[in-house]
Amino acid sequence: MEKNFNLPPKPNRQKKIVRNSAIALILGVIYVWAFSGVIEKVDWRFFDRIGENFDRVVPRLVDVDWSATSKVLELILETVFIAYAGTLIAAILAIPFGFWAAGNMVKSPFWNTMGKWFLILDRTFPELILAILFVITVGPGAFAGVLTIGLTAFGMLGKLYAEVIESIDMKVVEAMEANGANKIQILFYGIFPQVLPEFLSFALYRFEIDIRASTVLGIVGAGGIGTLIVITAANRDWEQLGLIILAIVVVVMVIDYISSKIRKRLV
Amino acid sequence: MITFKDVSLVYPNGTQGLKNINVKINEGEFVVIVGLSGAGKSTFIRSINRMVTPTNGELLVDDEDILKVEGKDLRKLRTKVGMIFQNYNLVNRSSVMKNVISGRLGHTGTLRSIFNLYPKEDKIKAYDNLRRVNMESKLYNRADQLSGGQQQRVSIARVLTQDPSIILADEPVASLDPPTSHQVMTYLRKVNQEDNITTIVNLHFIDMAMEYADRIIGMRDGEIVFDGPVSEVEEKTFEQIYNRPIREEDLRGSEEDASTK
């Protein structure tokens, strides 16, 4: 081997150095600006009271008040149902929109882009804003929560479904075209078997997210445990709030665990 | 019978796929198309079931010009002309049976097929065809549990289940090892002889073409440069078709060679 062998120089080396140092400089400036702003705005007296507040609240949070168990259980169940119903609506509604937004299904670029933008538009609405809108239009309660979850989950699931559809093996579709199958038969025999397990897996994953999301919907009156959180916090009933947090943690953990087990077996 | 009358095909990007093809393929013939990649073998084969559409000329399948058929008539043509692919193109997550019965799709109504309500004779036909390629023991396995050669045999069963009078095979053994390649070609040959199905196979292995074909058509740059029975073919013929000396990579090797390796 030649001792002084050097690899040929990389092309555009100088350009890359200039570009990367520019990026580093800009990032540095943003960091300095952000942290200096934070340090300036902090109310340092907060730290004098923090120990005192913790001593007052945390022991009472841990000293759970079990007397409210049945009420909390009922509401937590409602929360799970809101998430379930909302995700179910979204999981089904997202199928046609997923196909609409998939580039290999809709040949016209204009229509396809319309589908993609429709789903983006849906994803831009924050959950709580939608929840407030639904509480105003259909009245407070679980139904507003279901609609909120359904509509927000639908945007994300539609996008994920479209990506699944775009990644399928189109050769199978070709084979079915070649044996004389019509479009609907191709859909059921060539496309659904490839995408449905992944659709289901994404819907379950979204269900995990929606459980967490639906616990806070009640804060604006859209049903579930959130309403109770607001009331207990306002009453400074820390023992009951302790129970609520415990219940949420347990339910979210159990459902996450089960759903990830199922998802592993699906794909 | 398949008749190409002055058929040409120009792709939208300007590439000429076929140039003035004139050829007649008789019923029950086993024809192998040879040529280097890019010679137009695939385009030739895919014109016959209209997976591509020639831009000029006339292409007759059983005395019907197929270049103008659309919609329902096109699907009817495709039930008559079965196709086998290099990558088998099975639905991986579906069972072998479901893949094979999907050969009946062109003959079955939409609703019936969606709800899996095939007539009993169709199911028997699917099972019989699996038996012909010795795959009946894998009936309920998922397609992705099978080896490449087994998948190609399932795809032969699928194509037989559609009751074709013509089978097109586009590089059916290019992804397989030598012994499996011979097995698949043997099944294709058997089906051709027993059912008198016209079979057109694209191959780039010279020795396999010589072993299985009745007739060899050589293509170069979208044109037919040789057409004749196997008895007229010698090494020089392939050198003419390929326009270069024969190399080792043009040979697949015989079954015995491969098994002693």
CB contact B112 to A (< 8 Å): no
What CATH code is carried by the domain that includes residue B48? 3.40.50.300
CB contact B51 to A (< 8 Å): yes
Residue contact A193–B93, C-beta within 8 A: yes
Give the pLDDT score at A2.
61
What SS3 state is found at B146?
coil
Q: How many Å apart are CA B101 and CA B122, to the nearest integer?
A: 7
Task: Report pTM.
Answer: 0.81
Count the Cβ atoms, other than its own, within 10 Å of residue B96: 27
Q: How many Å apart are CA A182 and CA B72, to the nearest integer?
A: 9
Domain boundaries of chain A, sorted by first residue? 70-266
What value of ipTM does the predicted structure carry? Answer: 0.84
CB A217 within 8 A of CB A131: yes
Q: How many CA atoms lie within 13 A of A206 on its CB side?
A: 29
CATH number of A70-266: 1.10.3720.10
Give the pLDDT confidence of B37-89 residue by residue, as tens digits.
888 999 999 999 999 999 999 999 998 999 988 888 999 999 999 999 999 99
Give the pLDDT confidence of A90-104 residue by residue, as tens digits.
999 999 999 999 999
Is residue B10 within a helix (H) or strand (E), and if so which, with residue range? strand B2-10
Q: Which domain holds residue B10?
A: 2-260
Count the Cβ atoms, other than its own, within 10 Å of residue B195: 15
Q: How many Å apart are CA A174 and CA B175, to the nearest integer?
A: 18
Find tokens 């009420």 and name the residue: A71
CA A192 from centre of chain = 24
In angstroms, the separation between the Cα of residue A189 and the nearest Cα of chain B is: 7
Main-chain dihedrals φ then ψ at residue A248, nearest 5 degrees: -60, -45
Give the nearest chain A residue to B102 (CA atoms).
Answer: A189
Q: How many CA atoms lie within 13 A of A102 on its CB side?
A: 22
Residues of B in contact with A179 (CB under 8 A): 78-79, 82-83, 102-103, 105-106, 158-159, 162
Residue contact B159–A188, C-beta within 8 A: no
Main-chain dihedrals φ then ψ at residue A23, nearest 5 degrees: -60, -45
Name the region of A131 (left: φ>0; alpha: ψ -120 to 50; beta: rest).
alpha
- Domain total of chain B: 1
CB A189 within 8 A of CB B102: yes
- The residue-averaged pLDDT of B134-149 equals 91
The β-bridge partners of B201 are B32, B169
Residue of B49, B36, B48, B51 lying closest to B3 (CA atoms): B48
What SS3 state is found at B27?
coil
Is residue B17 within a helix (H) or strand (E), and if so which, with residue range? strand B16-25
In angstroms, the separation between the Cα of residue A175 and the nearest Cα of chain B is: 6
Residues of A in contact with B110 (CB under 8 A): 182, 184-185
Q: Tell me the one-letter amino acid at B150.
A: Q
Using CB atoms, which residue from A171, A179, A188 is nearest to B114? A188
Q: Mutate which of B102, B151, B165 to disrupt the A interface (most A C-beta within 10 Å)?
A: B102
Give the pLDDT confidence of A32-76 residue by residue, as tens digits.
999 988 888 887 777 777 878 788 888 888 888 888 888 899 999
Residue contact A174–B85, C-beta within 8 A: yes
